Amino acid sequence: MLAKSLVQDYLPDEVHQYISFGFRIIFGYFSSQMTIVIEEFEGFVHNEVYEAAEAYLATKISPSNKRIKVSKHEKENNYNVTVERDEEVVDTFNGVKFRFHNPRDLNSTLKSEVRSFELSFHKKFKDMALESYLPFMVKRAAVVKQEKKTLKIFTLDPDNMYGNYTEAWTSVILDHPSSFKTIAMDSDMKRNVMDDLDQFVKRRDFYKRVGKAWKRGYLLYGPPGTGKSSLIAAMANHLNFDVYDLELTAVSNNSELRRLLIATANRSILVVEDIDCSIELKDRSADEPPRESEESNDPRYKKVTLSGLLNFIDGLWSSCGDERIIIFTTNYKEKLDAALLRPGRMDMHIHMSYCTPSTFKVLASNYLEIKEHKLFSKIGEGIDATEVSPAEVAEQLMKNDTVDKVLEGLIEFLKVKKIQNEEEKAKKEEKELENKDKTTKGKDSEVKKNEVVDEQVTRNDRVDKVLEGLVELLKAKKIDDGQDEVKHEEASDINL
Protein backbone atom coordinates (compact mmCIF):
# COMPACT_ATOMS: atom_id res chain seq x y z
CA MET A 1 0.00 0.00 0.00
CA LEU A 2 2.89 2.36 0.84
CA ALA A 3 4.56 1.66 -2.52
CA LYS A 4 1.28 2.25 -4.34
CA SER A 5 0.81 5.53 -2.48
CA LEU A 6 4.34 6.68 -3.35
CA VAL A 7 3.84 5.80 -7.02
CA GLN A 8 0.58 7.75 -7.18
CA ASP A 9 2.02 10.75 -5.32
CA TYR A 10 5.43 11.14 -6.97
CA LEU A 11 5.24 9.61 -10.44
CA PRO A 12 3.64 11.58 -13.29
CA ASP A 13 0.27 10.27 -14.47
CA GLU A 14 1.70 9.25 -17.84
CA VAL A 15 4.41 7.08 -16.24
CA HIS A 16 1.90 5.62 -13.82
CA GLN A 17 -0.41 4.70 -16.71
CA TYR A 18 2.34 2.96 -18.69
CA ILE A 19 3.50 0.99 -15.62
CA SER A 20 -0.06 -0.11 -14.84
CA PHE A 21 -0.65 -1.04 -18.45
CA GLY A 22 2.55 -3.12 -18.54
CA PHE A 23 1.71 -4.99 -15.34
CA ARG A 24 -1.79 -5.80 -16.62
CA ILE A 25 -0.30 -7.36 -19.77
CA ILE A 26 2.25 -9.42 -17.82
CA PHE A 27 -0.18 -10.76 -15.24
CA GLY A 28 -2.83 -11.30 -17.91
CA TYR A 29 -0.92 -14.31 -19.23
CA PHE A 30 -1.16 -16.09 -15.88
CA SER A 31 -4.57 -14.87 -14.72
CA SER A 32 -7.83 -16.83 -14.73
CA GLN A 33 -9.69 -13.52 -15.05
CA MET A 34 -11.45 -12.31 -18.19
CA THR A 35 -11.95 -8.61 -18.94
CA ILE A 36 -14.67 -6.99 -21.04
CA VAL A 37 -13.89 -3.46 -22.23
CA ILE A 38 -16.96 -1.22 -22.43
CA GLU A 39 -16.16 1.95 -24.40
CA GLU A 40 -18.29 5.08 -24.35
CA PHE A 41 -18.93 5.13 -28.10
CA GLU A 42 -19.53 2.54 -30.77
CA GLY A 43 -18.54 4.36 -33.93
CA PHE A 44 -20.56 7.57 -34.04
CA VAL A 45 -23.22 6.52 -31.53
CA HIS A 46 -23.35 6.23 -27.75
CA ASN A 47 -22.74 2.77 -26.31
CA GLU A 48 -25.87 1.80 -24.39
CA VAL A 49 -23.91 -0.58 -22.15
CA TYR A 50 -21.47 2.17 -21.12
CA GLU A 51 -24.29 4.56 -20.22
CA ALA A 52 -26.01 1.76 -18.30
CA ALA A 53 -22.81 0.93 -16.39
CA GLU A 54 -22.31 4.59 -15.46
CA ALA A 55 -25.85 4.88 -14.05
CA TYR A 56 -25.82 1.44 -12.40
CA LEU A 57 -22.45 1.84 -10.67
CA ALA A 58 -23.62 5.08 -9.06
CA THR A 59 -25.90 2.87 -6.93
CA LYS A 60 -23.03 0.49 -6.03
CA ILE A 61 -20.47 2.93 -4.63
CA SER A 62 -19.15 1.64 -1.29
CA PRO A 63 -17.03 3.09 1.57
CA SER A 64 -13.98 1.47 -0.03
CA ASN A 65 -14.17 3.93 -2.93
CA LYS A 66 -11.88 6.88 -2.25
CA ARG A 67 -12.85 9.23 -5.10
CA ILE A 68 -16.23 9.96 -6.66
CA LYS A 69 -17.58 12.82 -8.78
CA VAL A 70 -20.71 14.74 -7.78
CA SER A 71 -22.60 17.32 -9.85
CA LYS A 72 -25.99 19.01 -9.81
CA HIS A 73 -27.69 21.62 -11.97
CA GLU A 74 -29.52 24.44 -10.25
CA LYS A 75 -32.98 23.14 -11.21
CA GLU A 76 -32.26 19.44 -10.67
CA ASN A 77 -33.62 17.67 -7.62
CA ASN A 78 -31.00 14.91 -7.46
CA TYR A 79 -27.21 14.78 -7.28
CA ASN A 80 -25.40 13.08 -10.15
CA VAL A 81 -22.82 10.70 -8.70
CA THR A 82 -20.26 8.91 -10.87
CA VAL A 83 -17.12 6.88 -10.23
CA GLU A 84 -13.85 8.78 -10.60
CA ARG A 85 -10.93 7.55 -12.74
CA ASP A 86 -8.86 4.57 -11.51
CA GLU A 87 -11.56 3.58 -9.02
CA GLU A 88 -12.86 0.02 -8.70
CA VAL A 89 -16.43 -1.03 -7.88
CA VAL A 90 -17.30 -4.62 -6.95
CA ASP A 91 -20.79 -5.98 -7.62
CA THR A 92 -22.15 -9.42 -6.72
CA PHE A 93 -24.65 -11.15 -9.01
CA ASN A 94 -25.95 -14.67 -8.29
CA GLY A 95 -23.00 -15.20 -5.94
CA VAL A 96 -20.39 -14.18 -8.56
CA LYS A 97 -18.18 -11.11 -8.14
CA PHE A 98 -17.90 -8.68 -11.03
CA ARG A 99 -15.28 -5.93 -10.79
CA PHE A 100 -15.57 -2.63 -12.66
CA HIS A 101 -12.48 -0.52 -13.21
CA ASN A 102 -12.64 3.02 -14.60
CA PRO A 103 -9.20 3.51 -16.24
CA ARG A 104 -7.50 6.67 -17.40
CA ASP A 105 -7.36 6.44 -21.18
CA LEU A 106 -3.89 6.86 -22.72
CA ASN A 107 -5.44 8.64 -25.70
CA SER A 108 -7.52 11.10 -23.73
CA THR A 109 -7.26 14.77 -24.59
CA LEU A 110 -8.68 17.86 -23.02
CA LYS A 111 -10.70 18.45 -26.19
CA SER A 112 -12.32 15.05 -26.56
CA GLU A 113 -11.90 12.51 -23.79
CA VAL A 114 -12.22 8.80 -24.56
CA ARG A 115 -13.77 6.94 -21.64
CA SER A 116 -14.41 3.27 -20.87
CA PHE A 117 -15.10 0.69 -18.16
CA GLU A 118 -13.26 -2.62 -17.73
CA LEU A 119 -15.42 -5.44 -16.36
CA SER A 120 -13.40 -8.35 -14.88
CA PHE A 121 -14.60 -11.77 -13.67
CA HIS A 122 -13.53 -15.45 -13.68
CA LYS A 123 -13.33 -16.96 -17.16
CA LYS A 124 -15.82 -19.70 -16.39
CA PHE A 125 -18.58 -17.09 -15.86
CA LYS A 126 -18.28 -15.56 -19.33
CA ASP A 127 -21.69 -16.83 -20.45
CA MET A 128 -23.32 -15.56 -17.27
CA ALA A 129 -21.74 -12.15 -17.78
CA LEU A 130 -22.89 -11.79 -21.39
CA GLU A 131 -26.29 -13.48 -21.21
CA SER A 132 -27.51 -12.59 -17.71
CA TYR A 133 -25.48 -9.98 -15.86
CA LEU A 134 -25.12 -7.31 -18.56
CA PRO A 135 -28.82 -7.49 -19.62
CA PHE A 136 -29.78 -7.21 -15.93
CA MET A 137 -27.52 -4.18 -15.51
CA VAL A 138 -28.98 -2.44 -18.59
CA LYS A 139 -32.57 -2.94 -17.41
CA ARG A 140 -31.79 -1.82 -13.87
CA ALA A 141 -29.95 1.26 -15.15
CA ALA A 142 -32.96 2.25 -17.28
CA VAL A 143 -35.13 2.29 -14.15
CA VAL A 144 -32.54 4.31 -12.23
CA LYS A 145 -32.17 6.88 -15.02
CA GLN A 146 -35.92 7.28 -15.43
CA GLU A 147 -36.37 7.87 -11.70
CA LYS A 148 -33.66 10.56 -11.64
CA LYS A 149 -34.21 12.05 -15.09
CA THR A 150 -34.42 15.81 -15.45
CA LEU A 151 -35.64 17.06 -18.82
CA LYS A 152 -33.07 18.89 -20.92
CA ILE A 153 -33.16 20.90 -24.11
CA PHE A 154 -30.17 20.55 -26.44
CA THR A 155 -28.90 23.01 -29.01
CA LEU A 156 -25.92 23.02 -31.36
CA ASP A 157 -22.58 24.14 -29.93
CA PRO A 158 -20.74 26.04 -32.71
CA ASP A 159 -17.36 25.48 -31.02
CA ASN A 160 -17.71 21.68 -31.31
CA MET A 161 -19.48 21.40 -34.67
CA TYR A 162 -16.39 20.11 -36.46
CA GLY A 163 -14.91 17.88 -33.78
CA ASN A 164 -16.54 14.93 -32.07
CA TYR A 165 -20.20 15.05 -33.14
CA THR A 166 -21.31 13.58 -29.83
CA GLU A 167 -20.14 16.85 -28.28
CA ALA A 168 -21.84 19.04 -30.90
CA TRP A 169 -24.96 19.22 -28.73
CA THR A 170 -24.95 21.26 -25.53
CA SER A 171 -27.81 21.23 -23.03
CA VAL A 172 -29.60 23.17 -20.32
CA ILE A 173 -32.40 22.11 -17.99
CA LEU A 174 -35.84 22.26 -19.62
CA ASP A 175 -38.05 23.61 -16.86
CA HIS A 176 -41.08 24.60 -18.95
CA PRO A 177 -44.41 24.54 -17.05
CA SER A 178 -46.55 23.82 -20.12
CA SER A 179 -48.72 20.71 -19.93
CA PHE A 180 -51.76 19.32 -21.71
CA LYS A 181 -53.83 20.47 -18.76
CA THR A 182 -52.77 24.11 -19.10
CA ILE A 183 -52.26 24.50 -22.86
CA ALA A 184 -54.96 26.47 -24.68
CA MET A 185 -56.07 24.42 -27.68
CA ASP A 186 -59.14 22.62 -28.95
CA SER A 187 -60.11 19.92 -26.45
CA ASP A 188 -60.73 17.25 -29.10
CA MET A 189 -57.41 17.95 -30.80
CA LYS A 190 -55.67 17.90 -27.42
CA ARG A 191 -57.11 14.47 -26.64
CA ASN A 192 -56.16 13.15 -30.09
CA VAL A 193 -52.54 14.28 -29.65
CA MET A 194 -52.27 12.74 -26.18
CA ASP A 195 -53.76 9.44 -27.36
CA ASP A 196 -51.42 9.38 -30.36
CA LEU A 197 -48.36 9.96 -28.15
CA ASP A 198 -49.41 7.31 -25.62
CA GLN A 199 -50.03 4.79 -28.38
CA PHE A 200 -46.66 5.54 -29.99
CA VAL A 201 -44.54 4.81 -26.89
CA LYS A 202 -46.35 1.49 -26.34
CA ARG A 203 -45.83 0.10 -29.85
CA ARG A 204 -42.17 -0.90 -29.98
CA ASP A 205 -43.00 -4.49 -30.96
CA PHE A 206 -45.56 -3.30 -33.51
CA TYR A 207 -43.04 -1.07 -35.34
CA LYS A 208 -40.53 -3.92 -35.34
CA ARG A 209 -43.11 -6.37 -36.68
CA VAL A 210 -44.17 -4.16 -39.60
CA GLY A 211 -40.56 -3.23 -40.42
CA LYS A 212 -40.66 0.49 -39.65
CA ALA A 213 -38.34 2.72 -37.66
CA TRP A 214 -39.77 3.49 -34.23
CA LYS A 215 -40.38 7.19 -34.80
CA ARG A 216 -43.27 9.60 -35.27
CA GLY A 217 -43.53 12.90 -37.14
CA TYR A 218 -45.73 15.88 -36.23
CA LEU A 219 -46.33 19.08 -38.21
CA LEU A 220 -47.51 22.05 -36.12
CA TYR A 221 -48.83 24.84 -38.32
CA GLY A 222 -50.76 28.04 -37.79
CA PRO A 223 -50.35 31.80 -37.23
CA PRO A 224 -47.75 33.17 -34.80
CA GLY A 225 -48.70 33.13 -31.13
CA THR A 226 -51.05 30.16 -31.35
CA GLY A 227 -49.06 27.93 -28.98
CA LYS A 228 -46.83 25.76 -31.17
CA SER A 229 -43.80 26.04 -28.86
CA SER A 230 -45.97 25.49 -25.78
CA LEU A 231 -47.37 22.32 -27.33
CA ILE A 232 -43.83 20.99 -27.90
CA ALA A 233 -43.00 21.60 -24.23
CA ALA A 234 -46.25 19.91 -23.18
CA MET A 235 -45.38 16.86 -25.32
CA ALA A 236 -41.89 16.69 -23.77
CA ASN A 237 -43.30 16.90 -20.23
CA HIS A 238 -45.98 14.32 -21.03
CA LEU A 239 -43.49 11.76 -22.35
CA ASN A 240 -40.51 12.81 -20.20
CA PHE A 241 -38.45 13.15 -23.43
CA ASP A 242 -35.46 15.46 -23.91
CA VAL A 243 -35.73 18.05 -26.69
CA TYR A 244 -33.15 18.67 -29.44
CA ASP A 245 -33.62 22.09 -31.06
CA LEU A 246 -32.05 21.85 -34.53
CA GLU A 247 -31.20 25.11 -36.30
CA LEU A 248 -30.86 24.06 -39.94
CA THR A 249 -29.10 27.26 -40.96
CA ALA A 250 -26.17 26.22 -38.74
CA VAL A 251 -25.73 22.94 -40.65
CA SER A 252 -23.40 23.06 -43.65
CA ASN A 253 -24.39 20.00 -45.67
CA ASN A 254 -26.22 16.68 -45.73
CA SER A 255 -23.31 14.71 -44.26
CA GLU A 256 -23.16 16.99 -41.24
CA LEU A 257 -26.92 16.67 -40.81
CA ARG A 258 -26.65 12.87 -40.68
CA ARG A 259 -23.88 12.97 -38.08
CA LEU A 260 -25.90 15.30 -35.88
CA LEU A 261 -28.92 13.01 -36.16
CA ILE A 262 -27.13 9.91 -34.93
CA ALA A 263 -25.64 11.92 -32.04
CA THR A 264 -29.13 12.46 -30.58
CA ALA A 265 -30.37 10.13 -27.85
CA ASN A 266 -33.27 7.70 -27.89
CA ARG A 267 -36.52 8.79 -26.21
CA SER A 268 -36.15 12.33 -27.48
CA ILE A 269 -37.96 14.99 -29.52
CA LEU A 270 -36.16 16.62 -32.43
CA VAL A 271 -37.58 20.06 -33.30
CA VAL A 272 -37.07 22.16 -36.44
CA GLU A 273 -38.96 25.43 -35.97
CA ASP A 274 -40.11 27.61 -38.88
CA ILE A 275 -39.08 24.97 -41.40
CA ASP A 276 -40.42 27.08 -44.28
CA CYS A 277 -37.96 29.94 -43.68
CA SER A 278 -35.11 28.37 -41.70
CA ILE A 279 -33.34 27.21 -44.86
CA GLU A 280 -33.73 27.41 -48.63
CA LEU A 281 -34.31 23.84 -49.73
CA LYS A 282 -33.45 22.71 -53.23
CA ASP A 283 -35.95 20.74 -55.27
CA ARG A 284 -35.11 17.04 -55.52
CA SER A 285 -35.51 17.16 -59.29
CA ALA A 286 -32.91 19.93 -59.59
CA ASP A 287 -29.46 19.03 -60.80
CA GLU A 288 -27.25 18.39 -57.78
CA PRO A 289 -23.44 18.29 -57.75
CA PRO A 290 -21.66 14.95 -57.48
CA ARG A 291 -21.52 13.47 -53.98
CA GLU A 292 -17.74 13.61 -53.89
CA SER A 293 -17.91 17.38 -54.29
CA GLU A 294 -20.18 17.81 -51.30
CA GLU A 295 -17.31 18.50 -48.91
CA SER A 296 -15.51 20.97 -51.18
CA ASN A 297 -14.97 24.63 -50.40
CA ASP A 298 -17.34 25.72 -53.16
CA PRO A 299 -20.25 27.50 -51.41
CA ARG A 300 -22.70 25.83 -53.81
CA TYR A 301 -22.04 22.53 -52.08
CA LYS A 302 -22.48 23.87 -48.55
CA LYS A 303 -26.23 23.24 -48.61
CA VAL A 304 -28.74 20.99 -46.92
CA THR A 305 -30.84 19.78 -49.85
CA LEU A 306 -34.44 18.64 -49.86
CA SER A 307 -33.28 15.09 -50.57
CA GLY A 308 -30.93 15.25 -47.60
CA LEU A 309 -33.71 16.46 -45.33
CA LEU A 310 -36.09 13.73 -46.53
CA ASN A 311 -33.47 11.04 -45.88
CA PHE A 312 -32.87 12.61 -42.49
CA ILE A 313 -36.59 12.23 -41.68
CA ASP A 314 -37.37 8.74 -42.96
CA GLY A 315 -34.40 7.38 -44.91
CA LEU A 316 -31.98 4.70 -43.82
CA TRP A 317 -30.25 7.04 -41.37
CA SER A 318 -33.51 7.75 -39.53
CA SER A 319 -33.46 4.16 -38.23
CA CYS A 320 -30.30 4.80 -36.18
CA GLY A 321 -32.23 5.12 -32.94
CA ASP A 322 -35.51 4.23 -31.27
CA GLU A 323 -38.52 5.99 -29.79
CA ARG A 324 -37.87 9.33 -31.45
CA ILE A 325 -40.29 12.11 -32.33
CA ILE A 326 -39.64 14.66 -35.08
CA ILE A 327 -41.56 17.95 -35.04
CA PHE A 328 -41.64 20.64 -37.73
CA THR A 329 -43.35 23.98 -37.13
CA THR A 330 -44.43 26.55 -39.70
CA ASN A 331 -46.67 29.58 -40.00
CA TYR A 332 -47.38 28.78 -43.65
CA LYS A 333 -48.09 25.14 -44.42
CA GLU A 334 -48.79 25.93 -48.08
CA LYS A 335 -45.14 26.93 -48.58
CA LEU A 336 -43.83 23.47 -47.74
CA ASP A 337 -42.92 20.89 -50.37
CA ALA A 338 -45.55 18.17 -50.56
CA ALA A 339 -42.81 15.55 -50.15
CA LEU A 340 -42.26 16.75 -46.57
CA LEU A 341 -45.90 16.37 -45.60
CA ARG A 342 -46.79 12.84 -46.56
CA PRO A 343 -47.46 10.12 -43.91
CA GLY A 344 -44.26 8.44 -42.81
CA ARG A 345 -42.58 11.82 -42.57
CA MET A 346 -45.15 14.08 -40.94
CA ASP A 347 -47.67 11.52 -39.67
CA MET A 348 -49.96 13.95 -37.86
CA HIS A 349 -50.76 17.52 -38.93
CA ILE A 350 -51.87 19.71 -36.01
CA HIS A 351 -53.49 23.04 -36.84
CA MET A 352 -52.87 25.62 -34.11
CA SER A 353 -55.67 28.10 -34.78
CA TYR A 354 -56.64 31.52 -33.50
CA CYS A 355 -58.28 31.75 -30.09
CA THR A 356 -61.79 30.30 -29.73
CA PRO A 357 -64.30 30.66 -26.87
CA SER A 358 -63.31 27.22 -25.55
CA THR A 359 -59.58 28.00 -25.57
CA PHE A 360 -60.33 31.34 -23.90
CA LYS A 361 -61.98 29.48 -21.02
CA VAL A 362 -58.81 27.43 -20.56
CA LEU A 363 -56.78 30.64 -20.44
CA ALA A 364 -59.22 32.21 -17.97
CA SER A 365 -58.94 29.15 -15.75
CA ASN A 366 -55.12 29.27 -15.88
CA TYR A 367 -54.63 33.01 -15.45
CA LEU A 368 -57.68 34.14 -13.45
CA GLU A 369 -58.64 30.85 -11.76
CA ILE A 370 -62.30 31.20 -12.77
CA LYS A 371 -64.56 28.81 -14.67
CA GLU A 372 -67.50 31.10 -15.43
CA HIS A 373 -68.28 34.83 -15.48
CA LYS A 374 -71.13 37.03 -16.67
CA LEU A 375 -68.86 38.60 -19.31
CA PHE A 376 -67.82 35.27 -20.86
CA SER A 377 -70.63 35.28 -23.43
CA LYS A 378 -69.78 38.80 -24.61
CA ILE A 379 -66.09 37.89 -24.81
CA GLY A 380 -66.97 34.75 -26.75
CA GLU A 381 -68.88 36.82 -29.32
CA GLY A 382 -65.92 39.17 -29.65
CA ILE A 383 -63.48 36.28 -30.13
CA ASP A 384 -65.70 34.67 -32.79
CA ALA A 385 -65.72 37.94 -34.73
CA THR A 386 -61.97 38.55 -34.41
CA GLU A 387 -58.73 36.88 -35.44
CA VAL A 388 -56.79 36.99 -32.17
CA SER A 389 -54.09 34.58 -31.00
CA PRO A 390 -54.11 32.85 -27.59
CA ALA A 391 -50.84 34.66 -26.80
CA GLU A 392 -52.52 38.05 -27.32
CA VAL A 393 -55.45 37.07 -25.09
CA ALA A 394 -53.08 35.75 -22.41
CA GLU A 395 -51.21 39.07 -22.45
CA GLN A 396 -54.47 40.92 -21.74
CA LEU A 397 -55.31 38.57 -18.86
CA MET A 398 -52.08 39.56 -17.11
CA LYS A 399 -52.72 43.32 -17.08
CA ASN A 400 -54.68 43.59 -13.84
CA ASP A 401 -55.33 41.67 -10.63
CA THR A 402 -59.08 42.40 -10.61
CA VAL A 403 -61.09 39.91 -12.66
CA ASP A 404 -63.80 42.36 -13.74
CA LYS A 405 -61.27 44.96 -14.91
CA VAL A 406 -59.28 42.33 -16.78
CA LEU A 407 -62.32 41.02 -18.65
CA GLU A 408 -63.61 44.51 -19.42
CA GLY A 409 -60.18 45.42 -20.74
CA LEU A 410 -60.21 42.29 -22.89
CA ILE A 411 -63.57 43.27 -24.39
CA GLU A 412 -62.18 46.69 -25.37
CA PHE A 413 -59.06 45.04 -26.77
CA LEU A 414 -61.19 42.73 -28.93
CA LYS A 415 -63.08 45.73 -30.33
CA VAL A 416 -59.83 47.43 -31.30
CA LYS A 417 -58.46 44.15 -32.67
CA LYS A 418 -61.55 43.71 -34.84
CA ILE A 419 -61.03 47.15 -36.39
CA GLN A 420 -57.37 46.32 -36.98
CA ASN A 421 -58.37 43.02 -38.65
CA GLU A 422 -60.78 44.86 -40.95
CA GLU A 423 -58.14 47.45 -41.87
CA GLU A 424 -55.56 44.75 -42.56
CA LYS A 425 -58.10 42.85 -44.63
CA ALA A 426 -58.95 45.99 -46.62
CA LYS A 427 -55.25 46.70 -47.25
CA LYS A 428 -54.72 43.12 -48.34
CA GLU A 429 -57.67 43.25 -50.73
CA GLU A 430 -56.47 46.61 -52.08
CA LYS A 431 -53.01 45.20 -52.66
CA GLU A 432 -54.44 42.12 -54.37
CA LEU A 433 -56.57 44.40 -56.55
CA GLU A 434 -53.51 46.47 -57.48
CA ASN A 435 -51.61 43.33 -58.38
CA LYS A 436 -54.61 42.17 -60.40
CA ASP A 437 -54.80 45.52 -62.22
CA LYS A 438 -51.09 45.34 -62.99
CA THR A 439 -51.57 41.85 -64.32
CA THR A 440 -54.60 42.92 -66.37
CA LYS A 441 -52.78 45.96 -67.75
CA GLY A 442 -49.87 43.79 -68.62
CA LYS A 443 -52.16 41.38 -70.42
CA ASP A 444 -53.94 44.26 -72.23
CA SER A 445 -50.60 45.71 -73.27
CA GLU A 446 -49.56 42.32 -74.56
CA VAL A 447 -52.84 41.98 -76.46
CA LYS A 448 -52.43 45.43 -78.05
CA LYS A 449 -48.87 44.62 -78.94
CA ASN A 450 -50.02 41.43 -80.59
CA GLU A 451 -52.77 43.33 -82.46
CA VAL A 452 -50.23 45.84 -83.80
CA VAL A 453 -48.01 42.99 -84.92
CA ASP A 454 -50.98 41.26 -86.58
CA GLU A 455 -52.00 44.50 -88.34
CA GLN A 456 -48.46 45.05 -89.54
CA VAL A 457 -48.34 41.48 -90.79
CA THR A 458 -51.67 42.03 -92.56
CA ARG A 459 -50.34 45.17 -94.15
CA ASN A 460 -47.21 43.36 -95.17
CA ASP A 461 -49.32 40.60 -96.66
CA ARG A 462 -51.28 43.21 -98.65
CA VAL A 463 -48.11 44.91 -99.93
CA ASP A 464 -46.72 41.56 -100.97
CA LYS A 465 -49.88 40.82 -102.91
CA VAL A 466 -49.86 44.28 -104.55
CA LEU A 467 -46.25 43.90 -105.56
CA GLU A 468 -46.85 40.42 -106.87
CA GLY A 469 -49.81 41.77 -108.90
CA LEU A 470 -47.72 44.61 -110.27
CA VAL A 471 -45.01 42.19 -111.34
CA GLU A 472 -47.61 40.09 -113.13
CA LEU A 473 -49.05 43.20 -114.75
CA LEU A 474 -45.66 44.31 -115.97
CA LYS A 475 -45.00 40.87 -117.34
CA ALA A 476 -48.31 40.95 -119.17
CA LYS A 477 -47.64 44.47 -120.44
CA LYS A 478 -44.26 43.38 -121.75
CA ILE A 479 -45.86 40.51 -123.63
CA ASP A 480 -48.50 42.82 -125.12
CA ASP A 481 -45.86 45.33 -126.23
CA GLY A 482 -43.91 42.56 -127.88
CA GLN A 483 -46.95 41.37 -129.77
CA ASP A 484 -47.75 44.93 -131.00
CA GLU A 485 -44.20 45.32 -132.29
CA VAL A 486 -44.44 42.07 -134.22
CA LYS A 487 -47.73 43.17 -135.81
CA HIS A 488 -46.25 46.53 -136.81
CA GLU A 489 -43.30 44.81 -138.55
CA GLU A 490 -45.65 42.49 -140.44
CA ALA A 491 -47.68 45.49 -141.67
CA SER A 492 -44.56 47.20 -142.95
CA ASP A 493 -43.60 44.13 -144.95
CA ILE A 494 -47.01 44.07 -146.61
CA ASN A 495 -46.77 47.72 -147.67
CA LEU A 496 -43.45 47.08 -149.26
pLDDT given for residue 458 in this prediction: 57
pLDDT given for residue 282 in this prediction: 46
More reliable by pLDDT, 379 or 314: 379
pLDDT confidence bin for 481, thresholds 50/70/90? low
CATH architecture for residues 152-351: 3-Layer(aba) Sandwich (3.40)
Q: How many residues does the chain have?
A: 496
What value does the CA radius of gyration of the chain take, rounded to a whole number of Å? 39
In tens, the pLDDT along 382-396 reads 999 999 999 999 999
pLDDT given for residue 417 in this prediction: 93
CA–CA gap between residue 327 and residue 335 (Å, rounded): 17
Of all residues in the chain, what percent carry a pLDDT higher than 70? Answer: 73
Residue 285 clears pLDDT 70, i.e. is over it: no
CA–CA gap between residue 215 and residue 324 (Å, rounded): 5
Nearest to 139 by CA among 56, 81, 206: 56
CATH 3.40.50.300-classified regions of the chain: 152-351
- Please tell me the least confidently modeled range out of 114-118, 178-182, 295-299, 419-423: 295-299
pLDDT confidence bin for 139, thresholds 50/70/90? very high
Q: Where are the beta strands (DSSP E) in 26-87?
A: 33-39, 41-42, 45-46, 68-71, 80-83
pLDDT given for residue 148 in this prediction: 79
Of all residues in the chain, what percent carry a pLDDT higher than 90? Answer: 42
Do β-strands 116-122 and 33-39 pair in parallel, antiparallel, or remain unpaired?
antiparallel
CA–CA gap between residue 228 and residue 185 (Å, rounded): 10
pLDDT confidence bin for 13, thresholds 50/70/90? low
Do β-strands 268-272 and 242-245 pair in parallel, antiparallel, or remain unpaired?
parallel
CA 279 to chain centre: 12
Are the CB atoms for 104 and 13 separated by under 8 Å? yes
More reliable by pLDDT, 127 or 439: 127
Nearest to 86 by CA among 115, 112, 109, 126: 115
pLDDT given for residue 7 in this prediction: 56
- Please tell me the least confidently modeled range out of 261-275, 398-412, 470-484: 470-484
pLDDT confidence bin for 261, thresholds 50/70/90? confident
Angle between helices 2-10 and 13-28 (to 10 degrees): 140
pLDDT given for residue 327 in this prediction: 96
Q: Where are the beta strands (DSSP E) in 347-473?
A: 348-351
CA–CA gap between residue 344 and residue 330 (Å, rounded): 18
Helices (H), 263-305: 275-278
pLDDT given for residue 486 in this prediction: 46
> To the nearest whole number, what is the mean pLDDT of the chain?
81
More reliable by pLDDT, 492 or 82: 82
pLDDT given for residue 484 in this prediction: 53
CA–CA gap between residue 367 and residue 399 (Å, rounded): 11
- Please tell me the least confidently modeled range out of 92-96, 99-103, 374-378: 99-103
pLDDT given for residue 344 in this prediction: 85
pLDDT confidence bin for 310, thresholds 50/70/90? confident
Average pLDDT over residues 184-208: 94
CA dihedral 99, 103, 107, 111 (to 10 degrees): 120
C-beta neighbour count of 283 within 10 angstroms: 12
pLDDT confidence bin for 283, thresholds 50/70/90? very low
Residue 288 clears pLDDT 50, i.e. is over it: no
pLDDT confidence bin for 462, thresholds 50/70/90? low
More reliable by pLDDT, 236 or 429: 236
Residue 133 clears pLDDT 90, i.e. is over it: yes
Average pLDDT over residues 10-31: 65
More reliable by pLDDT, 489 or 467: 467
Q: What is the pTM of this model?
A: 0.70
- Phi and psi for 149 in degrees, rounded to 5? -65, 135
**Please, what sign has the CA dihedral across residues 321, 327, 333, 335?**
negative
